[in-house]
Each structure stands twice: as C-alpha cells, then as structure tokens.
A = this chain, B = another copy of it.
C-alpha cells in the first residue's frame, strides 16, 4: 500500500488523516506534540478559563480505531522532495508516496525589536500556559508588593484580530475577577488591559458594524482600545509606539499576525507567497511536485476567483508571490477544508484520476468578546451579536471540540463560568521565570509543525 505522510496534527492534518483513514493507504501522522490542540480556545487557557487538558486531545486516541493510521512523535527538520522522504530531528526518515504538509503557522514578529525576547505568544498550548502563569504571577507580585510596586500590572495585547480581541476581552475579565472576587490588593487604575493595533478598526475581516460592536463591548469591559498605532519596539518596560510613547507593561502578548517557518518554505523550494505562506497550485499541490500537498495555515490557499473572503480579484491560474488578494485567510475552516481536499486528491491520484481545484465553502467568521458577547458573521453577511452570537460561537466550538469527554468537561466549565461567575483554574503551574521558555519563542522554532 502507498504510504501517505501527514506533517502536523492540527485541523488541516487531522481532516486529511480522517479522510484517508478508510482508504487503502498507510497513513503516518507526525507531530512534535502527542496531542491535537484546539487552537480557537487557547486564549481561554491563557486567561484561566479552561485547563490544558480541556483543549488538547491525544492524537493516538483520535485514531485509536483507524488501523491504517500511525502516529509518530517527533520534530520535522526538513524535507527531501527528490528522495520522497521527511527528515526528523532524531535522525529518522519517513519515506512517502504522497506527502501532505499541514505544518501550520508561527508568530510573525515583523522584525520589531524586542518581540522575540520580551513578548509572549499564543499559538501552542505551552504558549497559553506560559501566558497564564505570567499574568497570574504578575498580579500576585503586584498584590504582595502593594503600593511599592513600581511597574503596574498592565497587560498589553498587540493585534486587533480575533485572537487579540478574544484574549483582551478575557484578560479584562480575569483582572476583574482578581480584584473583585479573589480580593487581590490591586489599584484598578493601574491594573489595565490595553489592546493595540496599527489599523483603524478591530477585526478587519469582519464588517465595519461588527468591528464597531467589538470595540464598544471591549471598552465597556474596561479594555483600553488604541487603534492606528504602530509598535516600534518591545522591552522589559513595555511597548514603545511609533510616535515614541512608551506604554508601560508587565506582560506583552503578541498577536499581531502569523507567518510560516522559513525552513519549511525553503525546503518546499522556496516558493513563498503572501504572509510567507507556501505557493500552491489550485489543487493544493506543490508546483512540479504533484505528490506533495501543502494545506492549512502553511499554504497560500487559493480563493475562488472574485469571491474570496478577502475580496479576491478575477483571473484563474497559479497565485503569484505577493498576490494576497486571491489567497484565503488562515482560518480553522480553511485548514479543515483544504486538508480534506488534499486527502481526496491523494485518493484520486491512487485511482489515476485527474485532481480537482480547491473550492472553499465560506461558513463565515466569529469571535467572542468575553462572557455573553460575540460576533458571528455568516457567509451571506448576516451578523449575530451579543448572547445569540455567543451561543452560536459556543455551540460551534463544542461541536468541533474533539473528544466526547473533552466536550462534557468544557461544557461544565463554561456553564460554571456562566452561572457561577468567577471560576476557572487560576493556577500558577511550574516556576515562572521572567521570560517564557525557548520552546515557545518564534526565534527558536526548530520545526514547522511546532505551531500546530
């Protein structure tokens, strides 16, 4: 039987493996983590709303009944496209007949000085746990030092996309719990959550009305929203804005954007498109390598002509580097659909049938802004706000959350969170050094799938 290697156990990789699990192929899923991370809820782990185990599920358990799916726990160090083999850091090589690269994205620092050294990220479960530790420890330090505290426990979130908005909203609630419920002796005026973005509105991928709603809700919850401000540098003191102003901060969360780890793109013949993503054909295969598919956040997935979610322009054919207009945004839906599509193309190749172009079915976008508020924007343009949007968001995430047990536990956590207001595992686990560990820093990423 042909061997299909799938790099990455994120949404795209799992979708591909699921589709192939019933087909006459040997599937090997390789990931540096032995679990799938439900990324849309990482911000809840970072803000102590959920425990780590609630948003992670062992990959082996997911495929426990799929006899032809094997899991390999390891870091990918590169690809040998001519030899048809994936190279692992431990020296192992995984030969393949068909390769699906779903290695995901990593934080984009945009070469802003100090980001790698002083900012925290939110792309892996380890990242999320570090953010939680850092924030809770900062609040405890402020409580212990009381008035003497020189640097106020200010939390700055950089980036007004869904991740930034959801995290800032939840952080504001966490601070509120700390003061009103946990009775930490914090000065509400000096304990702030600031959301920074260079653009003029939040959630640019949503409608202007939705953006305005998100901003209004965040402000109502005490988040200091500051737009149209570029970040010049990040230091131990905080964030320095383009104008030179220093926003003092104990914790700086960098959610400004993502890119693709250089080594992947390099090995994949250096065809990098918008956002450092790998350029692919319309069937998601690598140019000149029909046996290799790149999907999910790692790929510049082509959008349908003229109707792309990000306003695509007419004209078919291969995407050209820099052509951001016709590539789809890096969303879970795009990852799932593209992973599934690649798997189906592998089947077609096995059956010696021609491959087909990827067609994205837009299911809309949604973002939650803390408790009881969310914006859910459907493909048609319809937008749900507030509680209804929140329930829609909650239902959708529960449906997609892998593992029945996880679903129950998460539902309980949420119900609890909703009815008995202050809850959540506000635990400071492990030692909390001044900076996060190398493992969770983009400058130190040793493998493509680190971020899935």
Residue numbers of A with Cβ under 8 A of B are 33-35, 51-54, 56, 58, 60-61, 64, 70, 72-74, 90, 92, 125-126, 129, 136, 140-141, 143-144, 181-184, 405, 408-409, 412-413, 416, 420, 422-423, 425-431, 437-439
Whether B51 lies near A429 (C-beta < 8 A) is no
Q: Are A425 and B56 in contact, CB atoms less than 8 angstroms apart?
A: yes
| 13 extra interface residue pairs, beta carbon distance < 8 Å, beyond A51-B51, A405-B412 | A52-B425, A52-B427, A53-B53, A60-B426, A61-B422, A61-B426, A64-B181, A72-B144, A73-B140, A405-B420, A430-B439, A431-B437, A431-B438
Which single residue of chain B is at the shortest CB-CB distance from A60?
Answer: B182
Shortest distance from the beta carbon of A392 to any chain B beta carbon, whole Å: 25
Q: Which among A51, A53, A125, A431 has the highest number of chain B CB atoms within 10 Å?
A: A53
Q: Pick from B136, B143, B182, B408: contact of A61, CB below 8 A.
A: B182
A-B contact pairs, 15 of them (CB 8 A): A35-B428, A51-B52, A52-B427, A58-B425, A60-B182, A60-B183, A60-B426, A61-B182, A64-B422, A74-B144, A125-B429, A405-B420, A409-B409, A409-B413, A431-B438
Q: Complex formed: what's the CA distance from A441 to B420 in Å?
A: 38
A431: chain B residues at CB < 8 Å are 126, 437-439
Residues on B with beta carbons closer than 8 Å to the beta carbon of A61: 181-182, 422, 426
Tell me which residues across on chain B come within 8 A of A426, comparing CB atoms.
Answer: 34-35, 58, 60-61
Which residues from B are CB-within-8-Å of A439? 430-431
Q: How far is the CA of A412 from the CA of B34 in the complex (A)?
A: 23
Given contacts A90-B144, A143-B73, A412-B405, contact A182 B58 (CB under 8 A): yes
Interface class of chain A by DSSP? mixed
* Structural contact, B140 and A56, CB atoms closer than 8 A: no
Q: Which of B60, B126, B405, B409 contacts A184 (CB 8 A)?
A: B60
Within the assembled complex, what's the spacing in Å between the Cα atoms of A320 and B416? 51
**Known interface pairs A61-B182, A61-B422, A413-B405; A427-B51 also in contact (CB < 8 Å):** no
CB contact under 8 A between A405 and B423, given known A60-B182, A60-B184, A64-B183: yes
CB atoms of B56 and A427 under 8 A apart: yes
Contact, CB under 8 Å: B136 / A34: yes
A140 to B51 alpha-carbon distance, docked (Å) = 24
Give the 8 A-B residue pairs with the shortest CB-CB distance, closest first.
A51-B53, A53-B425, A60-B182, A73-B140, A431-B439, A58-B426, A35-B427, A405-B416
Once bound together, how far apart are the Cα atoms of A425 and B129, in whole Å?
16
State how many angstroms separate the Cβ of A242 from the closest Cβ of chain B: 35
Residue from A56, A58, A412, A437 with most neighbouring chain B CB atoms (10 Å) = A58
Residue of chain B at shortest CB distance from A126: B430
With CB as the reference atom, state the residue of chain B lying closest to A143: B73
* Contact residues in B for A70 (Cβ distance below 8 Å): 183
Nearest residue, chain B, Cβ from A37: B427
Taking CB atoms, residues of chain B closer than 8 Å to A183 are 60, 64, 70
How far in angstroms is the closest Cβ of chain B from A38? 12
Evaluate whether A33 and B64 lie within 8 angstroms (CB atoms) in the complex, with A53-B53, A92-B144 already known.
Answer: no
A126, A184, A425, A428: most-surrounded residue (chain B CB, <10 A): A425
Chain B residues with CB below 8 A from A422, complex form: 61, 64
- Taking the closest CB of chain B, its distance from the CB of A161, in whole angstroms, is 26
Residue of B nearest to A437 (CB): B431
CB-CB under 8 A from A427, the residues of chain B are: 34-35, 52-53, 56, 58, 125
State A15–B234 Cα separation when bound (angstroms): 45
B residues in contact with A437, CB < 8 Å? 430-431
Q: Within 8 Å CB of A125, what residues of B?
A: 427, 429
Contact of A412 with B413 in the complex, beta carbons under 8 Å = no
Bound Cα distance A420, B61 (Å): 12
Chain B residues near A425: list those with CB within 8 A. Answer: 52-53, 56, 58
Q: B residues within 8 A CB of A73?
A: 140-141, 143-144, 428
Query: In the assembled complex, how far is the CB of residue A440 from the closest CB belonging to chain B, in whole angstroms?
Result: 9
